[in-house]
Amino acid sequence: MSSQVISHDPRSVPLPRRILTHLAVGCARVLAGRPPRRIRTVLGRLSRNARPASYAEAKAARDAVTAVSLACTGPEGCLPRSLATALLCRMHGQWPTWCVGARRMPPFGAHAWVEAEGLVVGEDHPPDYFRTFFTVP
């Protein structure tokens, strides 16, 4: 769960990208209600034949998602935020690594995020703060 302050200004995203971002967020919210195995299967299929997203591309997608969706900006929004980021990247032929894990130290806290070029995208935690349970590269 990210504690980073996130800007929410939909007008900061150009209209064509804003429309795609809303579509990605809607799909992500539906997908987030599915069991983890189903999410992983769907993302695995979607990631096929996509080129790896660069850090800048994944960060731009994450920024667009947080700009247009209040549900994706809060601390409980990590799952739809990470899913929407990955889906938005995929709409542009790219794929970041989608990750699910938990805090290494108590108390337990599940988290979902994306990585690109081996770096966590847009999170304010140190790289080893979370233990990765599984990824969709």
The parent domain of residue 80 ranges over: 14-136
Q: Is residue 107 part of a domain?
A: yes
Count of structural domains, the chain: 1
Tens-digit pLDDT profile for residues 14-43: 899 999 999 999 999 999 999 999 999 999
**Binning pLDDT at 50, 70 and 90, where does residue 1 land?**
very low
Q: Is residue 75 part of a domain?
A: yes
Tens-digit pLDDT profile for residues 83-94: 999 999 999 999
Residue 2 pLDDT > 50: no
Q: Is residue 111 part of a domain?
A: yes
Q: Are 28 and 80 in contact (CB under 8 A)?
A: yes
Q: Is residue 94 part of a domain?
A: yes
Distance of CA 80 to CAs 22, 24, 106, 107, 127, Å?
Answer: 12, 9, 24, 22, 21
* pTM score, whole prediction: 0.91
Q: Is residue 9 part of a domain?
A: no
Q: Is residue 3 part of a domain?
A: no
